[in-house]
């Protein structure tokens, strides 16, 4: 298995080749994007769904979605039938019996009633099998998000992941996670004949820096081509560079927020030490002193741009990568 993970997935192409394919009618989409409607995204004006929708179209994305955490507020704001906008959500479900750790599943092209039913299964039944059954019966496109990323406090059931991949039509190559994990995911997807989608999972408006290409005059056709392996992904920057950009943008959003909003939401980058520092300095009292607030923002932006927080996060994840490789090799 280790030898297979040294190269990029065969489905990866350069942006230059992608531009040629786009001229030939292929479609471009980032299938995992968050707006200010997500609990962990600062509610800055720049993150409002209406602003992000225009930004996505300006970047040449043919289909636009907002997969906020367990909410469809973006579509209540923008309209469920807005042209070029595909209803999406990131459903979280923790099934202690069948899985153990929390799963994140992106679901698309549902209506408000279907979302309510999915939400009830996830929060009340907490039954992964029921979720999958519902998605199949209702023929809703869905993706297994970042299979080897685990929520803080979860105990990862690594043995379950390859079996879980079998239950999904498409799995995710997520730029918020380590390249090694993504390559393992891609290898498992190839083994079981699953589609692969590259996403930014951006929480700061950085959608479209990586994306998935496929043909399709509708989102349904586009997704079916991904599902059947007739797609390509564009992933040119490394995980550390992507995370560095996200952290820098995140710092600016948090320090620019209204202080009253800051008390209502709990934001996290999942880099624990970095979070503690930000939460200490980005507080209501410091906001009363604009010069100090601006200095703190510039300091943390420069610190994040140095790449050190992203590097420390990636280094902390390395032991988990070793465990994943051993388990995957045993199940290969």
Q: Is the pLDDT of residue 310 over 90?
A: no
Average pLDDT along the chain: 89
How large is the average pLDDT for residues 183-187? 95
Q: Is the pLDDT of residue 4 over 50?
A: no
> In the numeric block, which tokens belong to residue 67?
């997969």
> In the numeric block, which tokens belong to residue 326?
């051993």
Total-model pTM: 0.91
Q: Alpha carbon of 318 to those of 177, 179, 309: distances in Å?
A: 11, 11, 15
The model's confidence at residue 283, banded by pLDDT at 50, 70 and 90, is low
Contact between 187 and 212 under an 8 Å Cβ cutoff? The reply is: no
pLDDT digits (tens, 9 = 90+) for 100-112: 999 999 999 999 9
pLDDT of amino acid 1: 41
How large is the average pLDDT for residues 284-310? 81
Q: What does the alpha-carbon distance between residue 153 and residue 110 come to, in Å, rounded to a whole number? A: 31
> Which residues are within 8 A (CB) of 75 and not within 5 positions of it... i.e. 6 or more apart?
66, 85, 87
The model's confidence at residue 260, banded by pLDDT at 50, 70 and 90, is low
Q: What does the alpha-carbon distance between residue 189 and residue 170 come to, in Å, rounded to a whole number? A: 8
pLDDT digits (tens, 9 = 90+) for 112-162: 999 999 999 999 999 999 999 999 999 999 999 999 999 888 899 999 999
Q: What does the alpha-carbon distance between residue 113 and residue 3 come to, in Å, rounded to a whole number? A: 47
Cα 78 off chain centre by? 21
pLDDT digits (tens, 9 = 90+) for 218-227: 999 999 999 9
Regarding predicted confidence, which is higher, 137 or 239?
A: 137
pLDDT of amino acid 239: 87
Find the range with the poorest average confidence among 10-24, 191-205, 265-279: 265-279
Give the DSSP per-residue string, 28-66: EE-S-B--TTSTTS---GGGSHHHHHHHHHHTT-SSB--
Domains of the chain as residue ranges with CATH: 3-238 (3.20.20.140), 242-311 (no CATH)
How large is the average pLDDT for residues 272-294? 71
């Amino acid at each position: 298995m280790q030898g297979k993970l040294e190269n990029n997935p065969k489905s990866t192409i350069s942006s230059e080749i992608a531009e040629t394919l786009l001229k030939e009618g292929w479609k471009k989409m980032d299938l995992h994007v968050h707006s200010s409607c997500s609990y962990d995204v600062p509610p800055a004006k720049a993150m409002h769904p209406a602003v992000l929708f225009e930004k996505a179209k300006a970047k040449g994305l043919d289909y636009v979605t907002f997969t906020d955490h367990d909410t469809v507020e973006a579509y209540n704001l923008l309209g469920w039938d807005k042209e070029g906008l595909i209803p999406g959500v990131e459903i979280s479900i923790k099934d202690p019996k069948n899985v153990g750790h929390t799963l994140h599943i992106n679901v698309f092209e549902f209506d408000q009633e279907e979302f309510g039913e999915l939400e009830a299964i996830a929060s009340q039944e907490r039954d992964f099998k029921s979720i999958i059954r519902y998605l199949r019966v209702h023929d809703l496109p869905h993706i297994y998000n970042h299979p080897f990323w685990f929520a803080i406090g979860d105990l990862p059931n690594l043995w379950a992941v390859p079996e879980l991949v079998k239950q999904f039509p498409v799995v995710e190559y997520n730029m918020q996670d380590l390249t090694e994990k993504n390559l393992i995911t891609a290898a498992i997807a190839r083994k079981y004949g699953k589609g692969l989608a590259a996403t930014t999972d951006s929480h700061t408006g950085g959608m479209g820096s990586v994306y998935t290409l496929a043909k399709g005059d509708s989102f349904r056709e586009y997704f079916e081509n991904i599902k059947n392996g007739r797609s390509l992904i564009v992933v040119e920057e490394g995980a550390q560079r992507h995370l560095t950009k996200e952290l820098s943008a995140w710092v600016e959003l948090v320090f620019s927020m209204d202080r009253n909003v800051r008390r209502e939401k709990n934001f996290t980058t999942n880099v624990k030490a970095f979070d503690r520092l930000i939460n200490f300095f980005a507080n209501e009292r410091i906001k009363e002193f604009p010069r100090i607030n601006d200095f703190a923002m510039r300091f943390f932006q420069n610190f994040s741009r140095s790449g050190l927080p992203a590097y420390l996060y990636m280094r902390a994840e390395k032991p988990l990568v070793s465990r994943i490789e051993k388990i995957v090799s045993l199940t290969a």
